[in-house]
Each structure stands twice: as C-alpha cells, then as structure tokens.
Amino acid sequence: PAAAKPLPAYVAWKDPTAMIVHTSSTLETKRSAFGTSVITPAEQLYIRNNLPAPDASIIADRDAWEVQIEGVKNPRNFNLKQLKGMGLETTAMVLQCSGNGRGLFPTKASGTAWAVGAAGCVVWSGVPVRDVVAALGGVADGMVYMTGTGGEKIPEGLDPKSVMVERSVPLKAMGDALLAWEMNGAPIPLAHGGPLRLIVPGYAGVNNVKYIKRLAFTLAQTEAAIQKTGYRLSPPGQKGDPSHPAVWEMAAKSWINSPAPDAGVVPAGMSLIKGVAFGGMQALKAVEVSIDGGASWLAAKFVGPDLGRYAWRQFVLSVKLAPGNYTIASRAIDVLGNLQSEVSMENTGGYNNTSWRDHALKISVV
Ligand code: MSS
C-alpha cells in the first residue's frame, strides 16, 4: 500500500493517528478511532472542503466577522459580536458528509470513497436563526428557502455559480438552525467554519455552510451548481438535475466500530460490539445488533448521555463468540419506528448510504 499522506498544513493540528488523508480537502476519521464518549474531539473530526478554506486572517478578529441577513422584513448586517448578544442555544448534532458510506455501496460512485468516518458528533453554540429573524421583523412574505453563502474567495476567472458554496434548505429547517461560533466548547476552528457557521441540525453536512457571510430567505433555491446539479439523488448514470431530490434531511443510521474494524480478527470468548447510532431528523429509539448477517437481531444497550434528537448515541452489546466467520451488523430505529434500511438506493453521487448491510463488518473469530 502507498505510504499514508501527511496532514495538510491548515489542519496540521489534527491527530494524525486518527485520520485517513484522502486529499488535502477530504480527511476521514478512522473507524478504529471513534471513541466511546459521544462527542468527537476536533482533532479527530473529518474535513470536507469543496473550495480551499479561506485565509486564517478571517479568524484574527472573530467578533468583526459580518453576516448579511436578507429576505427578512428589515434586512441588515450583523457582526459576530452583535450576534453573541442576540440569543444563545447549544445543540449536539451529527455532522455527516452526504457522501459518508459512498465507498461501501456495492457499485462504485465517483467522489471520495468514504467508509464511515466522514461523520462526527459535535456540540455547537450560537444564536438561533429564528431569534435573528424575529429581531428583523420576521421572514419576508412568501419565502420558501433558507439560503446560506460560504465566505470563500472565488478563484479568479471562474463563474462564481460554478464553484461557490451556497446551499438552500426548506424554510422549516430554520426552526432548529443556529448561527454558531463555538464547537465543542471552543471558538470554531477555521477548518470547521469559524468564525461563524450555519448549523442545520438533521441535515447532511453540505447544508452546514462554513464561514457564512450571507443568510437569505429566498423564493427559489440558489442557482449555484452545488445546489442546482450537485448533491442530488440522481438515478445511476444520470447527471444531477434540479428535478432530482436534493440531499437534505438525514435518515436513521448506525454502524459498528469495534471489535476489529481493520484487522477483522477477534479472539474467541466474550466480545464487546460497540458502535454509534442516530435517527437523523428524529430521536433514536433503539439499536439492534446481528452477529449472523441479519438473520436474527439482539437489542444493544445505549452507553453515555442522551444529548438530544440530533446527536448520536453509543451502543454496546456483549456477546460470546465461538471460532468461525461472522458478519456483524447494526440497525437503528427512530422514535417514529423508521428502521435503518438493509439496502440504500444507489445514486450517481453516492449519497445517503444508510444500508446496514453495506456497513456490516466481517470478522474471523479464532
Ligand atoms: N461550507 C463552505 N463554506 N465550504 C465548503 O466547502 N463543505 C460542506 C460543508 N460546508 C463546505 C461547507 C461539506 S460537503 C461538508 S460534508 C461539511 O461542510 C464538512 O464539514 P467539516 O467541518 O467536517 O469539514 Mo459533504 O455533504
């Protein structure tokens, strides 16, 4: 195998032993590196950038960062210092790339072949978007979407629409959305969207716009390519098109991280099967584990605190394993009774893989 790539300079502070460096803009958490105390430390959290991150000068004076609010009754700009005085909420949330699990689909889709590690559970603090909107007289009449624009500089000579990170989500997503300045108890690192990030709990990673410079309530979805044709659930072989569903709400999902996610060899006897499970938009009700490839299921036990409907929960099941080959799998069940599916709909972009079968681990017990 090729030698592991070093950490890129802008994330040199990440834990090199926990990360798989796919490219300078795609870093994945190793399956074996997920801890068992719910929150993913910043040093181990995955990175996905569609454009190079802005210069570190934007975090030199965080409080001076400005965001433009449009599509409200009284549009205006706020700087971060002003936002900090307007409201406060803290939300634990699974941040998961739309393409997490892409590399596990039976058919190869183009894009980073993420396994399970383009996800983490992170605590965000910020002002609720609804508080900002209320202070500005409410959303302007008839608006249908909430559209966030990233603060990257657009490379010279390119059509901005072809590369800019601008995403629209349905207006109802405003309900739990934050303009966040803190992550896991510290100012948001530049690489994760500091000084200010739009957080849309329950929605796939791409909708959580980093270094947000404009938040607009709009009649239509943005014309930016990342929305118009990108991040669409397109039938295999078809190019992204606005008529295909956008990658927005996440669904129930879980996976096993232990034992032996890499080597696959486990000593006979008692074994602890550990993993993470979340409901996407809904709180989680239960998680089940199978050691026979899905023929039968056992209830796993949750470990650690319940940090709310958008967070994940760690689970554990103690099993006695005799020598042999096993396929171990897990499936999440949300409070509405939605069961994590056995198979996920394949799509051109390789998005939203929640298939428990694709996430199963094959182990040999010796
Ligand atoms: N934002 C901005 N501004 N830019 C970019 O690039 N990306 C996306 C989000 N946001 C971006 C943004 C994506 S796509 C993702 S996942 C996320 O982010 C990630 O995050 P982190 O922090 O981890 O890096 Mo897929 O769906």
What one-character DSSP code corresponds to residue 211? S
pLDDT at 60 over 80: yes
- Does some domain include residue 1? no
Specify whether the CB–CB gap between 223 and 113 falls below 8 A: no
> Is the torsion defined by CA of 303, 304, 308, 314 positive or negative?
negative
- The terminus-to-terminus CA distance of the chain in angstroms comes to 26
> Is the torsion defined by CA of 88, 188, 101, 206 positive or negative?
positive
> From ligand 1's centre to the CA of 150, what distance in Å?
9
Say if residue 323 is in the same domain as residue 186: no
What one-character DSSP code corresponds to residue 302? E
pLDDT tens digits for range 216-259 = 999 999 999 999 999 999 999 999 999 999 999 999 999 999 99
- Does some domain include residue 150? yes
pLDDT confidence of residue 1: 55
pLDDT tens digits for range 8-35 = 999 999 999 999 999 999 999 999 999 9
Nearest to 185 by CA among 119, 125, 127, 121: 125
Whole-angstrom distance, CA of residue 3 vs CA of residue 51: 26
Q: What is the mean pLDDT of the chain?
A: 97
> From ligand 1's centre to the CA of 322, what distance in Å?
43
Name the residue of 13, 116, 203, 210 whose CB sits within 8 Å of the most ligand 1 atoms, as the mutation to test its pocket: 210
Name the residue of 13, 93, 165, 188 whose CB sits within 8 Å of the most ligand 1 atoms, as the mutation to test its pocket: 165
pLDDT tens digits for range 270-295 = 999 999 999 999 999 999 999 999 99
Domain range enclosing 97: 9-228
What one-character DSSP code corresponds to residue 226? H
pLDDT confidence of residue 2: 63
ipTM of the assembly?
A: 1.00
pLDDT band at 340 (very low <50, low <70, confident <90, very high): very high
- Does some domain include residue 3? no
Among protein residues, the one with the nearest Cα to ligand 1's atom 7 is: 49
Say if residue 307 is in the same domain as residue 191: no
pLDDT confidence of residue 261: 86
> From ligand 1's centre to the CA of 28, what distance in Å?
13
- Does some domain include residue 210? yes
154 lines ligand 1 (CB under 6 A): no
pLDDT at 325 over 60: yes
Say if residue 105 is in the same domain as residue 184: yes
**How many domains does the chain contain in total?**
2
Half-sphere exposure of 72 (CA within 13 A, CB side): 23
The structure tokens listed for 77 are: 């700009």
In 3-state terms, what secondary structure has residue 166? strand
Whole-angstrom distance, CA of residue 165 vs CA of residue 168: 10
CATH code where residue 313 lies: 2.60.40.650
Say if residue 222 is in the same domain as residue 260: no
